[in-house]
Amino acid sequence: MIHFFNTLSGRREPFSPLEPGHVKLYTCGPTVYDRQHIGNFRAYVFEDLLKRFLRFQGFGVTHVMNITDVDDKTIRGARDRGLSLEAFTADYIKEFFADLETLRITPADHYPRATGHIPDMVRIIQGLLAKGYAYRKDGSVYFSIARFPGYGKLSKIDATELRATERVESDEYDKENARDFALWKAPKEGEPYWESDIGPGRPGWHIECSAMSAKYLGPTFDIHCGGVDNIFPHHENEIAQSEAYWDRPFVKYWLHCHHLIVDGEKMAKSRGNFYTLRDLIEKQKADPMAVRYLLLSTHYRKVLNFSFEALEQDQAALRRIQDFLYEVDNRAFPPGRRPEVPAILDEAKAKFAEGLADDLNISLALTALFELIKRINVLIKDDQLRADDARETASLIRRLDEVLAVLPPKREVKIPDELMKKIEAREQARKDRNFKLADALRRELAESGLVLEDTKDGVRWKILK
């Protein structure tokens, strides 16, 4: 049984999707006014871990991630650079997709853009006006939070204290400033706007996620994710808009990851304390897989403190797994199998899955993996591991890596015939007790990158990388 901590209930809950065997997932995507920093990628890597784990457990997953290409920040950025919204956001969108690929984040099924869904948003706003949840003021439309009794249930703010007659224009604000929020904003000098049945204007930020999630997943779906900074006001407002319009529960499970911080502060564009993925890879020569490992190896509900020392440690941990896989993939072990190995593999797999089933407890999952490596290494050291065991161990590690996605794909290693002949010639020389020739051949092989080890079960070779 899988359990997740649900922000809505404030508790750990057993997970069961609305439709057995299939999970509908919505995650808030980037606002494309700048490059994304690794704090943003913490959220996307956490969501990727969740999705990969659900698939590992046999669920189908339909995943939607929105692209916010119109909001206060994109409009400001486009104006400052004298570009259209579309021209301004295009490069950031391209870079975002390239970064997702670099971090091996599995693509979503849909990446709807806000600017491509204005009519869907307008329809909901019209409905909210008709039902009395929204009102017009100076050409804009606002959601009346006093009309929605559940307002505050996700972020646990007490909405009864708020003065319902006050309004906020901006897309982002804090709990102290919770007021009626803008669904549709009247045109302003020099800003892009759309003609619509509710008048000219442009959408507020929150309405896009209510409109696009329903369009691709239906009005009620299983999991909604984002960083904790999205809980208020963004997700609270999504719930209000969607439930008021459809009269149905919006989302069953809300999962939020905590922040990535540097020097005790949230990594954010506005603070200027951020690294992009490219900064790390190009300037710091970081291995993208070590960055992924760093982002996923702290439990998603804990603060992740970014530092270069942490990155180095994670690189070392990752190398331990990679070296081990290389070893079981490429060493020649004596044929056959050991009776105790299947139980070791089964136990590791079960513990890995149990760890992740416990609200994505990655520490338990990684402990299971390192424990496996340790136990198999003991067998290797004692010359106990056999070829079938090695193959099955490698195959389990690759299976676990379908969730982690930090290991390189298998390199096919083929020993050239000429070297195979030398290995055999050396074996013969040893049998003939011609140790001088045997040693000479061993040295030649070593120069070609092939190291031989003699064990009581025969010769074993290892290719140096």
All residues at 6 or more sequence positions from 48 whose CB lies less than 8 Å from its CB, including other chains: 103, 104, 105, 106, 405
Given the rule CB under 6 A, which of 121-129, 157-165, 225-233, 312-320 is the region that contacts ligand AMP? 225-233
Asked if 34 and 41 touch (Cβ cutoff 8 Å), the reply is no
Question: Interface residues for ligand AMP in 245-274 (CB under 6 A)?
Answer: 257, 259-260, 266-268
CA neighbor of 23 nearest in space, from 49, 56, 51: 51
CB count, 10 Å around CB of 225? 26
State the Cα–Cα distance between residues 279 and 270, nearest whole angstrom.
17
Complex with Zn ion: residue 100 or 385, whichever CB lies closer: 100
Binding residues for Zn ion (CB under 5 A): 28, 209
- Judged by beta carbon distances under 5 to 8 A according to partner kind, the member of Zn ion, ligand AMP, none in contact with residue 43 is ligand AMP
Complex with Zn ion: residue 31 or 298, whichever CB lies closer: 31
DSSP helix/strand/coil, 248: coil
CB count, 10 Å around CB of 40? 23
Residue of the chain from 23, 25, 43, 198 that contacts ligand AMP (CB under 6 A): 43
Question: Cβ 200 to ligand AMP, closest distance in Å?
Answer: 26
- 77 is an interface residue for ligand AMP by CB under 6 A: no
- Judged by beta carbon distances under 5 to 8 A according to partner kind, the member of ligand AMP, Zn ion, none in contact with residue 209 is Zn ion
Complex with ligand AMP: residue 225 or 396, whichever CB lies closer: 225
State the Cα–Cα distance between residues 145 and 151, nearest whole angstrom.
6
Question: Cβ 304 to ligand AMP, closest distance in Å?
Answer: 7
- The strand pair at 140-143 and 180-185 is best described as antiparallel
> Over the range 157-185, which residues count as b (16 or more CB within 10 Å of their CB) and which as e?
bebeebeeeebbeebbeeeeebbbbbbbb
Question: Cβ 19 to ligand AMP, closest distance in Å?
Answer: 25
- Judged by beta carbon distances under 5 to 8 A according to partner kind, the member of Zn ion, ligand AMP, none in contact with residue 39 is ligand AMP
* First and final C-alpha spacing in the chain: 42
- Give how many residues touch ligand AMP by CB under 6 A: 17
All residues at 6 or more sequence positions from 8 whose CB lies less than 8 Å from its CB, including other chains: 153, 154, 251, 253, 254
Complex with ligand AMP: residue 114 or 423, whichever CB lies closer: 114
Complex with ligand AMP: residue 34 or 169, whichever CB lies closer: 34
Complex with Zn ion: residue 249 or 288, whichever CB lies closer: 249
Asked if 255 and 7 touch (Cβ cutoff 8 Å), the reply is yes
Residue of the chain from 77, 112, 204, 226 that contacts ligand AMP (CB under 6 A): 226
Question: Cβ 6 to Zn ion, closest distance in Å?
Answer: 18
Read off the tokens for 126.
């019209």
Question: Cβ 71 to ligand AMP, closest distance in Å?
Answer: 9
Which spans of this chain sit near ligand AMP (rule: CB under 6 A)?
Answer: 28, 30-31, 39-40, 42-43, 226-227, 229-230, 257, 259-260, 266-268
